[in-house]
């Protein structure tokens, strides 16, 4: 099966949520013997430079740099119209040309669009008459709606606008797709509200248990780690809340405890604030997250706006950590994994949960509980869905509209 895979971000390195799922999906399709052609946007030069790293997973890869400055200007102008900012910011004239080149290289049996941002390209020429499968992952309009509820004007107005316009597009895209995938039942139910007749299935995220398993000689310290991309607004807000409101209470109970913010994009304000508190480290981008997980005792995920399934939680559990998180995050987890977490939504409860976890010497979640959530199991039904979508054209001898 020939598959044209459209991604809004190059899926390498698989070190953030949107890359991780795409990377493992592509690896699964390649190992299953399919002819996959990747067409990806790149947000900066360093991301574009990783294109060759995907060569082993796909038959061809082409990367298109986003004109970010021009798109920001277009985004401001678009606020007076009816086009979503998501689509403006993920727009590039060069991508249309790249799609045409991809079609000349190999006529695909099916288009696989990753996230609502790339579905726009599957719905317009020259791809509009090809069957496509949409991996929505999360319902982004719900994320913008939740962010609007916790933000002040003028961002509140912008976020509400985006939620409304994106929900309208999501309804269209899901209705036109041969099949739509989401990461959990909560996201499926949200999409069903938008498009009751659409074909929507849950394809959960997985985890590489062997990759995250801690070495036998690991020596854990009394440490808390918060892993994430910190220029993402919910992570940034959670980091500020954890550092300023929660952490002083934890240090009172555990004076030697450490707190590590591990991941790219920390703000200058977070770095400055962290430098004034003992035992706090802000790493910036890291090549390998695992040593930070293996040295810690507890993983914190203090997100109050969270859609989908947070990879940071599943990876922490696979690394043998206890996890303290919010109910918003827990609602996106399978019940079996949520049971391995301590749930807290206010300062006192979150601090108490971290304090208890730092002093807990009991065994963490049984690794056998994670076995149903490997990537192999999560992706088991993907080929069948893609084959069914491609078979529509093959069986009728005509293109799907």
pTM across the whole model: 0.90
Mean pLDDT over all residues of the chain?
93
Q: Are 2-206+375-396 and 209-372 in the same CATH fold? A: yes
Mean pLDDT of 17-24: 93
DSSP reduced 3-state for 324: strand
Q: For residue 276, what pLDDT is reported?
A: 92
Alpha carbons within 13 angstroms on the beta-carbon side of residue 25 total 31
- Asked if residue 363 has pLDDT above 90, the reply is no
What topology is assigned to 2-206+375-396 in CATH? Rossmann fold (3.40.50)
The CATH number corresponding to 209-372 among 3.40.50.2000, 3.40.50.10860, 3.40.50.1000, 3.90.1150.10 equals 3.40.50.2000
Q: If you write DSSP's letter for every residue of 39-89 in order, what string do you get?
A: EEEESSHHHHTTGGGGTTT-SEEEEEE--HHHHHHHHHHHTTSSS-HHHHH
Q: For residue 400, what pLDDT is reported?
A: 36
- Asked if residue 242 has pLDDT above 70, the reply is yes
The pLDDT tens digits of the residues spanning 279-318 come to: 999 999 998 999 999 999 999 999 999 988 999 999 999 9
Domain map of the chain by residue range?
2-206+375-396, 209-372
Of the candidates 97, 87, 170, 186, the one whose C-alpha atom is nearest the C-alpha of residue 136 is 170
Structure token digits, residue 231? 């220029």
Of the candidates 337, 305, 344, 333, the one whose C-alpha atom is nearest the C-alpha of residue 321 is 337
């Amino acid at each position: 099966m020939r598959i044209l895979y459209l991604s809004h971000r190059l899926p390498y390195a698989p070190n953030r949520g949107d890359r991780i799922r795409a990377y493992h999906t592509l690896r699964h399709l390649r190992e299953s013997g399919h002819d996959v052609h990747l067409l990806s946007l790149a947000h900066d030069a360093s991301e574009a430079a990783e294109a060759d790293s995907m060569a082993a997973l796909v038959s061809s890869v082409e990367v298109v740099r986003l004109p970010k400055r021009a798109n920001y200007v277009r985004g401001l102008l678009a606020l007076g119209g009816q086009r979503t900012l998501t689509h403006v910011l993920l727009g590039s004239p060069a991508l249309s040309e790249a799609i045409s080149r991809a079609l000349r290289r190999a006529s695909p049996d099916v288009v696989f669009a990753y996230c609502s941002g790339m579905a726009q390209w599957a719905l317009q020429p020259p791809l509009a008459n090809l069957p496509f499968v949409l991996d929505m992952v999360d319902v982004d309009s719900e994320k913008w709606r939740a962010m609007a509820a916790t933000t002040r004007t003028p961002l509140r107005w912008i976020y509400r606008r985006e939620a409304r316009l994106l929900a309208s597009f999501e309804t269209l895209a899901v209705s036109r797709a041969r099949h739509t995938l989401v990461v959990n039942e909560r996201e499926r139910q949200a999409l069903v509200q938008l498009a009751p007749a659409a074909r929507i299935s849950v394809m959960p995220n997985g985890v590489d248990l062997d990759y995250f398993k801690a070495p036998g000689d690991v020596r854990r310290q009394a440490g808390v780690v918060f892993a994430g991309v910190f220029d993402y607004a919910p992570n940034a807000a959670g980091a500020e809340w954890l550092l300023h409101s929660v952490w002083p209470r934890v240090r009172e109970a555990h004076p030697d405890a450490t707190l590590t913010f591990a991941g790219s994009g920390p703000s200058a304000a977070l770095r400055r604030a962290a430098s004034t508190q003992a035992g706090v480290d802000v790493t910036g981008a890291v090549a390998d997250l695992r040593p930070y997980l293996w040295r810690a005792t507890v993983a914190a995920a203090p997100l109050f706006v969270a859609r989908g399934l947070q990879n940071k939680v599943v990876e922490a559990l696979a690394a043998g950590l206890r996890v303290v998180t919010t109910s918003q995050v827990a609602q996106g987890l399978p019940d079996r994994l949520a049971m391995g977490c301590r749930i807290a939504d206010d300062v006192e409860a979150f601090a108490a949960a971290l304090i208890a976890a730092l002093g807990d010497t009991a065994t963490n979640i049984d690794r056998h509980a994670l076995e149903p959530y490997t990537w192999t199991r999560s992706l088991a039904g993907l080929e069948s869905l893609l084959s069914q979508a491609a078979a529509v054209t093959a069986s009728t001898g005509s293109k799907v509209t």
